[in-house]
Amino acid sequence: NIINILNPEIVILGGGAVVDGHVNITEIAAASRKHIAAPSAKRTPVVATRLGEFAQAKGAALLAAK
């Protein structure tokens, strides 16, 4: 589980399936928590992006601009 390795403050899911509502974020969060070792990491929020379908492209463009 990537949350165990990176210990992020938040997990943001994006892409067309997420934006269109075909992916149930609540189910993904619950399933991932079953595999998290650290108790504090079990509280890591899993949310859908607010940037729309092209969130990944926008993020890549921002990184490239640095």
pLDDT band, very low/low/confident/very high, at 46 (cuts 50, 70, 90): very high
**Summary mean pLDDT of the chain:** 88
Structure tokens, 65: 């601009």
Whole-number Å distance between alpha carbons of 11 and 19: 15
Whole-number Å distance between alpha carbons of 14 and 50: 8
Supply the pLDDT for residue 30: 93
Whole-number Å distance between alpha carbons of 41 and 18: 23
Supply the pLDDT for residue 53: 79
Counting residues of the chain whose pLDDT is more than 90, the rounded percentage is: 39
The answer to whether residue 51 scores a pLDDT higher than 90 is: no
Supply the pLDDT for residue 63: 92
In this prediction, residues 49-62 reach a mean pLDDT of 85
Burial of residue 14, with CB atoms counted within 10 A of its CB: 0-12 exposed, 13-18 middle, 19 or more buried = buried
